[in-house]
């Protein structure tokens, strides 16, 4: 009897009908004789409603309180799913993150899982129960409720799969897995039946929102095979694992994009030690996530520093950075919120020279100006004008022949 962990996202449990439909899928898995642990997100829209309530009573809701508030969203969906399964005469029980033993540190709003104390889950499985765990949440050693931040439910699922030594962790969402590019932008985008952890990690980090990079990282660490598939169809999805065939590794695999990019440039900074810390420590303290950072080579001891943030965080970031820029004697501080990001990803990139040149050439042919460039071993990313992102993705997908089967 294998143990399977399945995670269902907010759109998969958006209303009573969807919950009942998900219950039928779970029942089908249980009928195969598997032990089943389910992780659920909040019903779509719930989290936003709760945040709006918080905003109405408080200009700056404390993170501890906000975490307790938000954790109720997943508790609601987990109980409803358990009820739906019981209504179909299956044994099922819901557990909160605390009850399921998701022990975290006390970094409210973005807690890290310290360990999974799976005793209660195992006990309920042994009673024959389908165990439904509220995702996105945990509890500290002081019994305070935390949330895991972005991608929290994916992370809960993979952590439980690791803790319970599950055969596979299945992430159910509203798309049929991983594609060579966003099918909405590129009609000829090809579905991938498998992908390696590392490529998936870059893909998830650089725009593919199907699964959160934290969960992929955790999967790689504990070598848990992850399947990403649609809860609306029966197609097999994409398997994320470590054992990807050698022969498919030596090429570009996919084009990722992200429209949520804003840029801040601090112009004319005296180039001396401690400047970067002076700027980024206060930003981190303000809870602003920095994405790409680029610093130009210094000319006459004056340099420019550019970094990107999510558009929604631009105003707060500028408010933090401006006074710092002044105090360190920078010339000015400018921002641009009309940006996007395109990335070409694939393990082939690290072994094959010329990928970067080809990418820049393609963008140039399209008349697209590149504002920033960053690379990793298996990824090349260009920050460009937001309006040009669709053209860029399509042209890159064609140029790298991603529509052709491996």
Q: Which residues bind a copy of itself (CB under 8 A)?
A: 15-16, 19-20, 23, 50, 53-54, 56-62, 64-66, 68-69, 71-72, 75-76, 78-84, 86-87, 93-94, 96, 98-99, 120, 143-145
- In terms of CB distance, is 78 or 254 closer to a copy of itself? 78
Residue 327 main-chain phi, psi, to 5 deg: -65, -25
Which of 176, 280, 162 is closest to 225 using CA atoms?
A: 162
Separation CA 278–CA 239 (nearest Å):
43
Strand, coil or helix: 93: strand
Query: Quick one: which of 244, 270, 239, 253 has its CA closest to 190?
Result: 253
Strands 254-270 and 238-241: unpaired
Task: Round to whole Å and give the CA distance between 360 and 368.
Answer: 9
Q: How far is the CB of 237 from a copy of itself (least distance, A)?
A: 25
Residue whose CB is less far from a copy of itself, 20 or 398: 20
Tokens 């990079």 belong to residue: 213
Q: How many CA atoms lie within 13 A of 95 on its CB side?
A: 28
Least Å from the CB of residue 22 to a copy of itself: 10
Structure tokens of 107?
């970094």
> Which two structure tokens, joined as six digits, stand for 151?
């991608």
Least distance (Å) between residue 81 CB and a copy of itself = 8
Nearer to a copy of itself, 37 or 186 (CB): 37
Q: Quote the least distance from Cβ 124 to a copy of itself, whole Å.
A: 11
Which is closer to a copy of itself, CB of 90 or CB of 179?
90
Q: How many CB atoms neighbour CB 352 within 10 A?
A: 13
Q: How far apart are CA 16 and CA 348, in angstroms?
A: 45
Of 119 and 331, nearer to a copy of itself (C-beta) is 119
| Least distance CB 379 / a copy of itself (angstroms) | 40
Distance of closest approach, residue 94 Cβ to a copy of itself, in angstroms: 6
Q: Which is nearer to a copy of itself, 68 or 370 (CB)?
A: 68
- Closest approach, Cβ 316 to a copy of itself, in A, equals 18
Closer residue to a copy of itself, CB minimum distance, 66 or 330? 66
Q: Do 144 and 109 meet the contact criterion of CB atoms below 8 Å apart?
A: no
Strand partners, 375: 380
């Amino acid at each position: 009897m294998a143990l399977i962990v399945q995670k269902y996202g907010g759109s998969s449990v958006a209303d009573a009908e969807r919950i009942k439909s998900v219950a039928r899928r779970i029942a089908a898995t249980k009928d195969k004789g598997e032990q089943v642990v389910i992780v659920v997100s909040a019903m779509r829209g719930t989290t936003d409603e709760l945040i709006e309530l918080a905003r109405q009573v408080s200009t700056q809701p404390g993170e501890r309180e906000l975490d307790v508030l938000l954790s109720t969203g997943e508790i609601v969906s987990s109980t409803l799913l358990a009820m739906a399964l019981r209504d179909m005469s299956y044994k099922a029980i819901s557990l909160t993150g605390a009850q399921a033993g998701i022990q975290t540190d006390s970094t409210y709003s973005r807690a890290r899982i310290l360990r999974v104390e799976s005793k209660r889950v195992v006990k309920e499985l042994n009673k024959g129960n389908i165990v439904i765990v509220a995702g996105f949440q945990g509890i500290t050693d002081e019994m305070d409720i935390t949330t895991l931040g972005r991608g929290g439910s994916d992370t809960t699922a993979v952590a439980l799969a690791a803790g319970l030594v599950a055969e596979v962790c299945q992430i159910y969402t509203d798309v049929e897995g991983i594609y060579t590019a966003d099918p909405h932008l590129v009609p000829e985008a090809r579905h991938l039946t498998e992908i390696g952890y590392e490529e998936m990690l870059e893909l998830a980090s650089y725009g593919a929102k199907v699964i959160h990079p934290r969960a992929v990282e955790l999967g790689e660490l504990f070598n848990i095979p992850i399947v990403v598939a649609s809860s609306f169809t029966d197609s097999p999805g994409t398997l994320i694992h470590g054992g990807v065939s050698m022969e498919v590794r030596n090429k570009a695999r996919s084009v990722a994009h992200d429209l949520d990019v804003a840029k801040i440039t601090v112009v004319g900074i005296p180039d001396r030690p401690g400047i970067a810390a002076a700027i980024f420590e206060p930003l981190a303290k303000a809870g602003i996530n920095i994405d790409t950072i680029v610093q130009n080579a210094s000319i006459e001891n004056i340099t420019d520093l550019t970094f990107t943030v999510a558009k929604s965080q631009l105003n707060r970031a500028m408010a933090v950075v401006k006074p710092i820029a002044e105090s360190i004697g920078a010339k000015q501080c400018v921002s641009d919120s009309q940006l996007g990001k395109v990335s070409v990803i694939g393990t082939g990139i690290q072994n094959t020279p010329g990928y970067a040149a080809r990418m820049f050439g393609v963008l140039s042919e399209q008349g697209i100006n590149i504002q920033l460039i960053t690379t990793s071993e298996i990824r090349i990313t260009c920050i460009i004008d937001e309006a040009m992102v669709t053209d860029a993705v399509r042209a890159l997908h064609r140029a790298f022949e991603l529509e052709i089967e491996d």
